[in-house]
Amino acid sequence: MFKNLFFMLSSSILISSSLSAEACPDFPDIFDFFDFEEEAIICPDYKDITGELPVITIVADQSDSNWTYIPDVAQSKFGDWSTCIGLAHNVSREAAKAYAEKNSKVTFFFYVKQYMVLEDDESIIARIFMQGDAVFFSGDPEKVASWGTATDMADGYVKR
């Protein structure tokens, strides 16, 4: 436990298996306090070059034969909410798709990835959604869906 806590608090220190307390004079008694087993500390004056590695971004394609996936969107607060069929709480993305596939009225929905509030600018009302919520709509998505940006908060799905 202490070993993990130490490494969380000192993120600039790297792990190695080849150094001893003598090799790192800035922390002479740290080896007595923590049980590092075969691990040891590299002195913090080493240059971390991890940032020089190329970053690879992998985006999972959530589309399938039944759904067109639209990342990072939700029905806009200004959109037509009169076609909303309903809201399911605490469901998986797969369960939301399965429900929508079985319900012929559902033509599109959005799935909430993290807490999100859609406020009405002209009144004191708001729609508040939690992670795992799915909101289902009917009607022609080309006419009814009004996607608003919801970066990292929700994803949209349109039935094919």
- The pLDDT value given to residue 39: 46
The first and second tokens of residue 49, run together, are: 């070059």
CA distance 71 to 61: 9
Residue 17 domain flag:
no
Beta strands in 60-107 (DSSP E): 67-70, 73-75, 84-88
Q: Look at residue 130 and tell me if it is in a domain.
A: yes
In this prediction, residue 22 carries a pLDDT of 52
Strands (E), 51-133: 67-70, 73-75, 84-88, 108-112, 116-119, 126-129
Angle at 145 between CA 140 and CA 148, to 5 degrees: 170
Domain assignment of residue 12, yes or no = no
CATH, residue 126: 3.50.4.10
Is there a domain that residue 102 lies in? yes
Measured CA to CA, the distance from residue 17 to residue 97 in angstroms comes to: 48
Q: Is 152 buried (19+), middle (13-18) or exposed (0-12) by CB count in 10 A? A: exposed
The whole domain housing 143 covers 66-159
User: Number of folded domains in the chain?
Assistant: 1
Assigned domain for 133 exists: yes
**Residue 146 lies inside a defined structural domain of this protein:** yes
Considering the entire predicted model, what is its pTM? Answer: 0.61
What is the DSSP secondary structure assignment for residue 87, as one 8-state letter? E
Sequence-distant (≥ 6) Cβ neighbours of residue 91 within 8 angstroms: 99, 132, 133, 134
Tens of pLDDT along the chain (160 residues) come to 444 444 444 443 444 434 445 555 555 555 555 554 444 455 556 677 667 777 656 455 566 788 999 999 999 988 889 999 999 999 999 999 999 999 999 999 999 999 999 887 777 788 999 999 999 999 999 999 999 999 999 999 999 9
